[in-house]
Structure 1
Amino acid sequence: MARKKKKVGTYPSGMILFSLTLALFLVGFCGMLAIQSKRLVTYIRENYEMRAFLDKDLDTRKLTRLQRTIAERPYILKTSDSAQISFVPKDVAAKEFIAETKEDFSKFLGENPLRDSYRIKLNEEYFEETKLQQVKEDLEQIDGVFEVVYQENLVDNINRNITKIYAVMSAFALILLIIIVVLMNNTIRLALHSQRMLIRSMQLVGATNGFITRPFLARGIWQGFLAGVIAVALLLAALQLAIRNLPELAMFQDPEKLAMLMAGIVGLGVIIGFLSTYQAVNRYLGLSLDELY
């Protein structure tokens, strides 16, 4: 029975495809975590509230004018052309205070000492201590505003923790990328080991390095593309499963950035497949006959 001839550019690729798919899936998973955490940070910052306590005995006309004045400030969060300002009468504030503390101060004070207030949400870029202090000072200069309060230490703590989380995730992603490159180089090099003598034979009959390299590169690019597509499919399946079990995650999705991430994973697979194959083939092209054995 005739022995089947080897064709240049063909080599065992199952392990390469599996390894690259797994590596790209891990990279994509890190990217998805980064996107979700960014949306979560934005949600936290945009739902952070300042309280603007008002002067007493303001009539409806003055309250309307005051709310309009505050809404025109550039730091006020606006969604669907609506400023995120909500009026809280002092009676409602008293009920909230009693529900939280379980203490009814009206029984021993005889009156409600609280003031009407506005709860104000700010744009994300103002979520830092110096800018919040400037916002506070600006609001307190408006006629009708008695005092503006916010949790000062909370902002700094949140920002510090966010910075730490991003630093850890970036370091992990960088380490993972280095491991992937090293792993793929070694895996493809081992896979091409069976082709080393065929490469040498083609050199002996006068084939150029470009002619020898071309089919290997084409196969490496195809493997990278296929691994990227499979990794994307697995990531989307994992995301849908997570949303199905935890519906609250749906509000933290960013379709545009998610699409960019998926395209980047496929592109990264193609680049890794190309570069790793190119490096491995060039290594065998430069070996002598004794080194090949």
Structure 2
Amino acid sequence: MSTSFERFQKRKLISSYFSVVLSIGLVLFLLGILGLLVLNTKKLADHFKEQITISVFLKDNAKEVEVDQLQKSLAMAEYTKKATYVSKEQAAEQHSEEIGENFLDFLGYNPLKNSIDVQLKADYVSTEKIAEIAEEISSRDYIEEVSYDKPLITLLNDNVKKISFWILVASGVFTFIAVLLINSSIRLSIYSKRFIIKTMQMVGATKTFIRRPFIWTNIKLGVLGAVIALIALGFVIYYVDINFPELNLFQDPTILVFLFASVFFLGVLISFISTFFATQRFLNLRTDDLYY
């Protein structure tokens, strides 16, 4: 009979530990995903900004040497990520693919211009800086027009600011929720042992002596939950890096080390603080209050 009861108690204890580890692991994993997003917000914003292109249209009488010099000077400019020459024939082919028919057969001639597409570095994607760049490029007499989507640039910059702000807000809120969830799991685990805590106190054990095994046990559970979260987070980062290599998640290992260390430390810290205050609460309760 006693053996069956001991087995039941052991299964109950394992189940309790499992639920705590699972809760900690899941919450820390989600927190890690959010942390990854926060730490890479600028990189994501820069990625979208660098898709903005300035099209420099050339006059038909532009000399080949002038075009070559212009392309080289644009490619070497501090604001340029990439400069690509697009002939009127290439432009016509691309346009025909987009509209699904060959418009040259209808018009009988190619109205498009030779151009150079300039992809800007993210730091220069603002309406003011692009206007200055466009004005500087337009000063050459063989330039027909410098074209870019000004409303799109304004919209992009506004949205980047808004998204960055709300990501920070969401991070703060979710961190608070994460602490509450982990704290609740640990408190429930300790609640089931409240009579043991009070019994130890009644036989003369000090509060520090009583707290110590609970704190160490839950720190170990926190470490285990953090390890599980980090393994899952590692798989997610690897998957994202394979499918979206342009984000270059492994370009700066310091960010990933900081993220992993933060998740691990947070798991240990929350486990320690939650256990300390949960045990303290039951230590301060009267025996009669343990039944409520």
Does TM-score exceed 0.5, indicating one fold? yes
Gaps of 5+ in 1: 78-83
Structure 1 residue 50: deviation in Å? 0.6
Q: Distance in 2 between matches of 1:174 and 1:135?
A: 39
Structure 1 residue 228: deviation in Å? 0.9
- TM-score where L is the length of structure 1: 0.78
- TM-score where L is the length of structure 2: 0.78
Bigger share in helix? 2
Q: Which residue matches 2:63?
A: 59
Q: Secondary structure at the match of 1:13?
A: helix
Q: Which residue matches 1:282?
A: 280
| Identical positions, percent | 30
Contact 1:71/1:85 (8 A) holds in 2? yes
Q: Distance in 1 between matches of 2:20 and 2:173?
A: 20
Please list the CA deviations of residues 257-289 of structure 1 after superposition, one character each: whole Å capped at 9, or x if unmatched.
444433322222112111111111221232233
Q: Distance in 2 between matches of 1:42 and 1:179?
A: 30
The amino acid that maps onto 1:283 is R
- Cα–Cα, structure 1 residues 207 and 139, in superposed 2: closer, same or farther, change >3 Å? farther
Give the alignment of 1:68-79 within 5 angstroms: 68-77=72-81
Contact 1:51/1:120 (8 A) holds in 2? yes
Q: Which residue matches 2:103?
A: 104
Q: Secondary structure at the match of 1:74?
A: coil
Structure 1 residue 52: deviation in Å? 1.1
- Tell me the C-alpha RMSD between the 2 structures: 3.4
Please list the CA deviations of residues 228-253 of structure 1 after superposition, one character each: whole Å capped at 9, or x if unmatched.
1112223334555678xxx6334435
Match of 1:43 among 42, 47, 50: 47
Please list the CA deviations of residues 50-81 of structure 1 after superposition, one character each: whole Å capped at 9, or x if unmatched.
1112244333332232223223322111xxxx
Q: Secondary structure at the match of 2:77?
A: coil
Match of 1:141 among 139, 142, 160: 139
Q: Secondary structure at the match of 2:78?
A: coil
Match of 1:23 among 27, 37, 44: 27
Q: Distance in 1 between matches of 2:272 and 2:196?
A: 20
Match of 1:252 among 247, 257, 275: 247
Q: Secondary structure at the match of 2:84?
A: strand
* Equivalences, count: 279
Structure 1 residue 197: deviation in Å? 3.7
